[in-house]
């Protein structure tokens, strides 16, 4: 079965993406993405699939998968039931760590971990338990603290005793072959043209299907209807632009592909539970608070230095 492409939106002003999700969830399917991923299961048991590997997972299951390596975790949850949080996820692109290694020679050992992740790497439950508080703080951390937490997590993985490679030595991810599939061609097109008008009928034509067949096909592969999928990507992009603080809300509305402000506000409220202006104000308050805390820490350090001068 061909894996589906997942479009990972790492915020423009951040080095990596960290988030959590429950079960069922739209990304719970056989899929791949260019970004590296570290995933920690916090609830449920089930089967997981990494490359050509199949295994059983329980809470504490901590796995790192490399670029374009297909993967999926399927939980044993009765039909109709939901789990609020199934896992914690960290995603980052290759260039982020490659540039860091170039600047900091001490990170050279990370290259071994990145190479091993090409087949998927399973860490011990002890490492999983140590990783959980780090990843939970990463969900809310701001500024430099995000980087120190990320490095702490990577250091934990590098020093972990006897991690296990998952896929067989003969397995090789083949993203060029995956990209030939109909759904991945469509998803890639959406990602490249998010700011433009996207009509389901035109995407159906691109996929060589009737509108009704494409609608069913798209939902089966992504877990959500076409319009909902596109709106979610656009709102995520809008959040990045809101945090940058350079554009007005009206400008952002049109830049991410909405054709009127009222629909943008309505979709934003539905997905984020608040208005774009309120969301931006809350983020600015959060950033200001982090800045004040840093200033206080710096002042405390100065006073301590003077006291022990």
Note whether 230 and 121 are same-domain residues.
no
Note whether 28 and 121 are same-domain residues.
yes
Q: Which strands make up the sheet holding 62-65, listed edge to edge?
A: 17-23, 83-92, 36-41, 62-65, 121-123, 164-165
Note whether 21 and 110 are same-domain residues.
yes
17 vs 183 pLDDT, higher one: 17
Note whether 16 and 144 are same-domain residues.
yes
User: Which pLDDT does position 264 carry in this prediction?
Assistant: 93
Q: Which domain CATH number covers 268?
A: 1.10.10.60
Residues 248-255 have a mean pLDDT of 92
Instruction: Tell me the angle at which helices 200-207 and 182-192 cross, rounded to the nearest 10 degrees.
Output: 140
Bridge-based pairing of strands 121-123 and 164-165 is antiparallel
User: Which pLDDT does position 287 carry in this prediction?
Assistant: 67
Q: Which domain CATH number covers 122?
A: 2.60.120.10
Note whether 24 and 73 are same-domain residues.
yes
User: Which pLDDT does position 47 carry in this prediction?
Assistant: 96
Q: What is the pTM of this model?
A: 0.75
- How far from 137 is each of 21, 150, 219, 282, 289, CA to CA, in Å? 16, 10, 33, 19, 16
Report yes or no: 185 and 2 within 8 Å, Cβ to Cβ.
no
The rounded distance, in Å, linking the Cα atoms of 271 and 237 is 13
Note whether 120 and 143 are same-domain residues.
yes
Note whether 189 and 153 are same-domain residues.
no
Range of the domain at 84: 4-165
Is the pLDDT confidence value at 152 over 90? yes
Mean pLDDT of the chain: 87
279 lies in a domain? yes
Single out the residue in 140, 165, 190 at which a domain terminates.
Answer: 165
The number of folded domains in the chain is 3
The rounded distance, in Å, linking the Cα atoms of 104 and 152 is 15
Note whether 205 and 266 are same-domain residues.
no
The rounded distance, in Å, linking the Cα atoms of 243 and 266 is 19
Is the pLDDT confidence value at 298 over 50? no
Q: Return the sign of the alpha-carbon dihedral for residues 288, 291, 297, 301.
A: negative
174 lies in a domain? no
Note whether 26 and 74 are same-domain residues.
yes
Note whether 161 and 29 are same-domain residues.
yes
């Amino acid at each position: 079965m061909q894996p589906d492409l997942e479009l990972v939106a790492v915020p423009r002003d951040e080095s990596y993406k960290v988030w959590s999700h429950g079960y069922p969830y739209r990304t719970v399917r056989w899929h791949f993405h260019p970004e590296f991923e570290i995933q920690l299961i916090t609830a449920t048991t089930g089967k997981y699939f990494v490359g050509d590997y199949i295994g059983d997972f329980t809470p504490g299951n901590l796995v790192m998968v490399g670029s374009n390596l297909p993967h999926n975790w399927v939980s044993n949850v009765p039909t109709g039931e939901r789990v609020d949080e199934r896992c914690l996820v960290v995603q980052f692109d290759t260039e982020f760590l490659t540039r860091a290694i170039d600047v900091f020679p001490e990170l050279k050992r990370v290259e071994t971990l990145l190479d091993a992740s090409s087949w998927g790497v399973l860490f011990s439950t002890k490492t999983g338990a140590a990783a959980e508080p780090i990843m939970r703080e990463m969900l809310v951390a701001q500024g430099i603290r995000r980087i120190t937490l990320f490095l702490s997590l990577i250091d934990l993985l590098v020093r972990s005793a006897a991690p296990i490679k998952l896929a067989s030595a003969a397995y090789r991810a083949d993203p060029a072959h995956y990209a030939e599939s109909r759904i991945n061609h469509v998803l890639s097109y959406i990602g490249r043209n998010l700011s433009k008008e996207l009509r389901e009928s035109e995407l159906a034509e691109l996929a060589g299907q009737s509108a009704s067949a494409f609608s069913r096909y798209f939902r089966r592969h992504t877990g959500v209807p076409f319009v909902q999928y596109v709106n979610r990507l656009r709102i995520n992009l809008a959040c990045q632009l809101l945090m940058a603080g350079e554009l007005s809300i009206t400008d952002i509305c049109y830049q991410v592909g909405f054709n009127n402000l009222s629909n943008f506000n309505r979709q934003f409220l539905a997905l984020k539970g608040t208005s774009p202006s309120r969301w931006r104000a809350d983020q600015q308050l959060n950033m200001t608070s982090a800045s004040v805390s840093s200033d206080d820490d710096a002042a405390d350090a100065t006073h301590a230095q003077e006291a022990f001068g």
